[in-house]
Structure 1
């Protein structure tokens, strides 16, 4: 009768570690962004809309990888807070172009500063070199998914 190896403890499993690290980072980020009146999803929308070219709601949703209904909800909330504004496209009247307002630009600046500081605090226990390696490794894994 063969002796079976015991399963590895949860604390050594990649899925468990990634899930709990992400949950901890989400809490850290939420606390950092709360004073700016946005959450991580809304900040991502502001980042995408801050590019050089104006985007429609559909184009922004595509860049973020969210469905159109979710995008409408996100834009509605940001518009209610005066951070973005919609306007009809001059080229295609069926499209809504979404742009940051001046308040949205300032919110983005301040929230990004808070996000970067929260990220640095979260990664600090690793040291700069290890943190950079972790970020590069995660970028590689995400790029594989997008290829």
Structure 2
């Protein structure tokens, strides 16, 4: 599929550029993960659960920025694929701890490899230093407080 160049009037607008890069990344990610039977959101859940042992559904949702209802549906789907399992917390019987199954750990490993390869190809038009700089810049923006860099009214 060929893509038209952005209209000149939009070619330097941050919102336009980020939106269209995100749409392309989403398409590429879906294509890379499809053979593994999961999508990007499910991969993110598997990665967070793998990185943080013993998380409840609510704690994992908080780390991912997903509302509770959506998280339940996503965990239900992953449980249906036998990639995660819920267990009652021994410390608090009201909490469900969500853990990867052995199949989930294997799927995570394989899908992460596919994601990394997709990202490498996606960033290939950039030099390695530029790709690293882009990632670092985006990490800074994600972690920046709202309104950072705006002029203060109190001056």
DSSP 3-state at the match of 1:50:
helix
Aligned-pair CA distance for 1:51:
2.1
TM-score w.r.t. the length of structure 1 is 0.92
DSSP 3-state at the match of 1:87:
strand
- 1:84 aligned residue: 84
- 1:111 aligned residue: 111
Aligned-pair CA distance for 1:127:
1.4
Aligned-pair CA distance for 1:52:
4.6
Once residues 114 and 65 of structure 1 are traced to their aligned partners in structure 2, the CA distance between those partners, rounded to angstroms, is: 24
Once residues 67 and 26 of structure 1 are traced to their aligned partners in structure 2, the CA distance between those partners, rounded to angstroms, is: 21
- 1:132 aligned residue: 132
Higher helix share: 1
DSSP 3-state at the match of 2:85:
strand
- 2:47 aligned residue: 47
Once residues 126 and 25 of structure 1 are traced to their aligned partners in structure 2, the CA distance between those partners, rounded to angstroms, is: 15
DSSP 3-state at the match of 2:125:
helix
Q: Does 1:96 align with 2:96?
A: yes
Once residues 136 and 120 of structure 1 are traced to their aligned partners in structure 2, the CA distance between those partners, rounded to angstroms, is: 15
Q: Does 1:20 align with 2:20?
A: yes
TM-score w.r.t. the length of structure 2 is 0.87
Q: How many residues are matched?
A: 140
Gaps of 5+ in 1: 1-7
Once residues 129 and 75 of structure 1 are traced to their aligned partners in structure 2, the CA distance between those partners, rounded to angstroms, is: 37
Once residues 89 and 51 of structure 1 are traced to their aligned partners in structure 2, the CA distance between those partners, rounded to angstroms, is: 18
DSSP 3-state at the match of 1:29:
helix
DSSP 3-state at the match of 2:17:
helix
Post-superposition CA distance 1:50-98 (Å, at most 9, x none): 0252110000001001110010000000000000000111110100000
- The CA RMSD over aligned residues, in Å, is 1.4
Q: Does 1:57 align with 2:57?
A: yes
Once residues 73 and 50 of structure 1 are traced to their aligned partners in structure 2, the CA distance between those partners, rounded to angstroms, is: 19
